[in-house]
């Protein structure tokens, strides 16, 4: 086996997420540098909170998608770096605000910032990062890309309000659920890949393909998150499992279980939906009902469907630089819950 | 007296704020229409909360400043309408988030939205309005103006974090206070008048004059607000008086009083600073200390200084359409506390 073949074999043996990290590494270093320089402030809480989250080892999936999308074409002037950093700041701002809204105690495996610095600082530093995201976009100088990202900011917030208004609402439909996840999650994935394509100078058709890829991947990603919230397909009970139940979030596993179980079990779910004190035993029974009614399996099946749509969107571009990584990432996003 | 003279006399008899309203009325109707159309959402809480605040009879001073600044020159394509609406949305988003941060019960003379719809909805609808503000700016199509407004969004948030970090901090300096108010209040006034001038096609020099006017007016405005929080120069105790004391805000009246009173009174202020339960009697004694030490008078004097700087900035443009109104508005902003 020649050296080249050995290297190729080594690369393909790597888990796909490692391949994505390696593929985008040089550009992501620029992104990280930009992120750090943009949270610099003499107001100490700003870099403290922002860096706490940024360095907490989030996967940086969204900015990597922006960079990888750009790298399929011919990125110039580091626009893709600015866009990727803006996408990560928008995501970080959303996390800060979501933790306040959901009263979360944990984020990325450590204490949520609001538990250390308080809700007020979390809200305000989120606002700061949003402002910085737009400043970076302005500096990149593309009004179209700015339009895409500002629209997604409004859509994300609107989707979160919709989700909030549907909490514990037993009349919630499956369509409502999909509307929520398209807005609160898929909108940023969609914007991330679309502005990446733009920064690479993609054609209209290629840009549309990347936009579609991001949107479908985002839907799949959130469906999987909503399965993971109940311990994944195996339904393993651990810490944080059942948070969506406690918050009364009407996710697909809940909606499906309510529709496909007996009256007694459905009543049990209804009684515990939105009870912040629901204990491990209660969650375990809800998870058992979900497994029995096929709710977790059905949700994961829907995730596979959308992952397949994401892959199909990129199929015409499969020969482009790094496209195979993005295609395989779609499977990875679903498999983490299987 | 001819009809024209009679009309002129009538107009000049009007309080200056009425003159500003009348002067900007036709354009502000377009702004209001745009605001209403942009909070339209099938997610009911979005228009409910936004309209509750927007129709609560805020003065709309900031968007009126944008419109009036544009009208001094030759506004085209309704860019000034988009900018004014964006400025008002940014302001409304700030109010929603501030009420959460300050745990306020009242806003614009009625219950604060967070007391009706909760903190979560207030945070998220604020985010939605911020996204909409940027979308409107993008549609107006001017990257320079977008840069000014996105920068001010980051500065406002950074200033609010700084204020939060200085709460109850007895080492706070007068310079820190001015840094806070320049960021949290003056930055939006400054942006409002600068983008207004840009929408009117002002020259570089005129745009700088309007920017300076807005910045100084904003400083004066906040100084006055901080005097009004202790009942104005008369120190009249009423509802909400002393909120800044209860929140531990290190405003100039507090800083000056601490420096210019006897040890016993200074100790009394220190003991009650940041006590959310401080009662009317306590506030009355703090106000009495402020009056005796000249803290309210000194703060108002500083407000007059900055109002004068605002007027001076516009002096070279005094002959332009409506300039005299903006010049007089500077006095009005201070006199409301005298």
- A132 close contact with B: CB closer than 8 A: yes
Binned at pLDDT 50, 70 and 90, residue B12 comes out as: low
Position B203 scores a pLDDT of 98
What element of type H or E holds A110? Answer: strand A110-111
Strands A110-111 and A106-107: antiparallel
Name which of A127, A152, A154 is nearest B97 (Cβ-Cβ). Answer: A127
Which pLDDT score, from 0 to 100, does residue A236 have? Answer: 77
- Find out whether A95 and A107 touch, Cβ atoms under 8 Å: yes
Assign residue B40 a region: left if phi > 0, alpha if psi is -120 to 50, beta otherwise? Answer: beta
Q: Residue B44 and residue A165: Cβ atoms within 8 Å?
A: yes
Put simply, the answer to whether B135 touches A151 (Cβ < 8 Å) is yes
**Chain A contacts of B130, Cβ < 8 Å?**
127, 130, 153, 157
What pLDDT score was predicted for residue B209?
A: 98
In this structure, is residue A4 part of a structural domain? no
CA distances from A238 to A112, A279, A327, B181, B218 (A): 18, 12, 31, 47, 52
For A258-275, the pLDDT digits (tens) are: 999 999 999 999 999 999
Q: What percent of chain B has pLDDT over 70?
A: 95
Instruction: Supply the DSSP string of A122-136, one letter for each residue.
Output: HHHHHHHHHHHHHHH
Q: Is A174 on the interface with B (CB under 8 A)?
A: no
Convert the pLDDT of each residue in A172-189 to its tens digit: 999 999 999 999 999 999
Query: By CA distance, what is A137's nearest residue in B?
Result: B147
Residue of chain A whose alpha carbon sits nearest to that of B158: A128
Contacts of A137 in chain B (CB under 8 A): 150
Q: Which residues contact A175 (CB under 8 A, 6 or more apart)?
A: none
Chain A: closest CA distance from residue B288 (Å): 31
List of residues 6+ apart from A96 with CB closer than 8 A: A49, A53, A113, A114, A122, A123, A125, A126, A129
Of residues A43, A132, A153, nearest to B131 (C-beta) = A153
Collapsed DSSP state (helix, strand, coil) of residue A233: coil
Question: Which residues on A lie below 8 Å from B157 (Cβ)?
Answer: 124-125, 127-128, 130-131
Rounded average pLDDT per 10-residue block, chain A, 338 residues = 42 81 96 94 93 80 97 95 97 93 80 90 95 94 94 96 96 98 98 98 98 98 96 79 94 98 97 95 96 96 98 98 97 87
Please state the length of chain A: 338
**B46, B123, B150 ranked by CB distance to A101: nearest:** B123
Structure confidence at residue B104 (pLDDT): 82
Predicted pLDDT at B288: 96
Q: Does A40 touch chain B (CB under 8 A)?
A: no
**By CA distance, what is A47's nearest residue in B?**
B158
Residue B5 falls inside a structural domain:
no
Cβ atoms B105, B112 nearer than 8 A:
yes
- pLDDT of B192 higher than 80: yes
Q: pLDDT class for B13, splitting at 50, 70, 90? A: low
Query: Residue B110 pairs with which residues in a beta bridge?
Result: B107
End-to-end CA distance of chain A: 35
- Cα angle B13-B16-B17, degrees, rounded to a multiple of 5: 130
**Complex ipTM:** 0.92
Residue A227: inside a domain, yes or no? yes
User: In this complex, is the C-beta atom of B160 within 8 Å of any C-beta atom belonging to chain A?
Assistant: yes
DSSP assignment of A162-173:
HHHHHTT-TT--
Average pLDDT over every residue of B2-15: 51
**Which residue of chain B has the CA closest to A163?**
B43
Q: Does A123 touch chain B (CB under 8 A)?
A: yes
The answer to the question of residue A2 being in a domain is no
Size of the A and B interface in Cβ pairs below 8 Å: 137
pLDDT mean across residues, chain B? 92
Q: Which of B127, B132, B154 sits opposite A132 (nearest CB)?
A: B154
Separation between Cα atoms, residue A62 and residue A80, nearest integer Å: 12
Q: Which of left, alpha, beta for B103 (phi over 0: left; psi -120 to 50: alpha)?
A: left
Q: Name the closest residue on chain A to residue B97, using Cα atoms.
A: A123
Q: Do the domain assignments include residue A58?
A: yes
Give the gap in angstroms from C-alpha B86 to the nearest C-alpha of chain A: 12
Number of domains in chain B: 1
Q: Which of A116, A118, A128, A139 to mutate against chain B (most B CBs within 10 Å)?
A: A128
pLDDT of residue A12: 56
Asked if residue B6 has pLDDT above 50, the reply is no
Residue A57: CATH number of its domain: 1.10.600.10
Would A113 be classed as within a structural domain?
yes
pLDDT of residue B108: 72
Q: Please, which residues 270-329 of chain B have a Cβ atom closer than 8 Å to chain A? A: none
pLDDT value of residue B222:
97
Distance from CA of A50 to the nearest CA of B (A): 12
B208-221 average pLDDT score: 98
The predicted structure's pLDDT at residue B245: 96
Higher-scoring residue by pLDDT: B316, B13 = B316
Give the distance from residue A321's alpha carbon to the nearest chain B alpha carbon, in angstroms. 32
Task: Decide if B114 is inside a domain.
Answer: yes
B101 in reach of chain A (CB within 8 A):
yes
Which chain A residue shows the shortest CA-CA distance from B133?
A150
What is residue B11's predicted lDDT score, i.e. its pLDDT?
46
* B137: nearest CA partner in chain A: A147
Range of the domain at A271: 9-335
* Domain assignment of residue B164, yes or no: yes
Mapping DSSP onto H, E and C, the string for B186-253 reads: HHHHHHHHHHHHHHCCCCHHHHHHHHHHHHHHHHHHHHHHHHHCCCCCCCCCCCCCCHHHHHCCCCHH
- Dihedral sign (CA A259, A262, A263, A266): negative
For the cut 60, the answer to whether the pLDDT of residue B26 exceeds it is yes
Shortest CA gap A147–chain B (Å): 6
* Cα–Cα distance measured from residue A327 to residue A318, given in angstroms and rounded to the nearest whole number: 8
B131 shares contact with chain A (CB less than 8 Å): yes
**CB hemisphere CA count around A17 (13 angstroms):** 11
pLDDT at A105: 83
Q: Do B153 and A127 touch (CB under 8 A)?
A: yes
């Amino acid at each position: 086996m020649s050296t080249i073949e050995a290297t190729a074999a080594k690369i393909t043996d790597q888990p796909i997420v490692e391949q994505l990290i390696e593929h985008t590494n040089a550009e992501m270093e620029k992104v990280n540098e930009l992120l750090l320089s943009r949270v610099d402030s003499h107001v100490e809480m700003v870099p403290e909170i922002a860096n706490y989250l940024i360095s907490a080892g989030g996967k940086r999936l969204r900015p990597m998608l922006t960079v990888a999308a750009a790298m399929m074409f011919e990125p110039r002037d580091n626009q893709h770096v600015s866009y990727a950093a803006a996408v990560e700041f928008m995501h970080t701002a959303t996390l800060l605000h979501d933790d306040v809204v959901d009263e979360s105690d944990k984020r990325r495996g450590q204490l949520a910032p609001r538990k250390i610095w308080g809700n007020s600082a979390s809200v305000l530093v989120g606002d700061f990062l949003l402002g910085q995201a737009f400043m970076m976009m302005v500096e990149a100088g593309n009004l179209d890309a700015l339009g895409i990202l500002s629209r997604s900011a409004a859509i994300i917030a609107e989707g979160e309000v919709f989700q909030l208004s549907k909490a514990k609402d037993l009349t919630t439909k499956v369509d409502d659920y999909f509307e929520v996840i398209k807005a609160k999650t898929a909108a940023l994935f969609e914007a991330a890949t679309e502005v990446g394509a733009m920064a690479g100078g993609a054609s209209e058709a290629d840009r549309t393909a990347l936009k579609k890829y991001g949107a479908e991947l985002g839907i799949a990603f959130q469906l999987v998150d909503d399965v993971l919230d109940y311990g994944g397909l195996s339904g393993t009970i651990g810490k944080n499992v059942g948070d969506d139940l406690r918050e009364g979030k009407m996710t697909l596993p809940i909606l499906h279980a309510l529709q496909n179980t007996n009256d007694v079990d459905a009543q049990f779910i209804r009684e515990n939906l939105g009870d912040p004190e629901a204990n491990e035993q209660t969650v375990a029974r809800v998870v058992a009902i979900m497994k029995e009614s096929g709710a977790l399996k059905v949700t994961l099946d829907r995730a596979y469907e959308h992952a397949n749509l994401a892959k199909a969107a990129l199929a015409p571009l499969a020969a482009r630089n790094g496209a195979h990584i993005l295609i395989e990432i779609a499977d990875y996003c679903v498999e983490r819950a299987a």
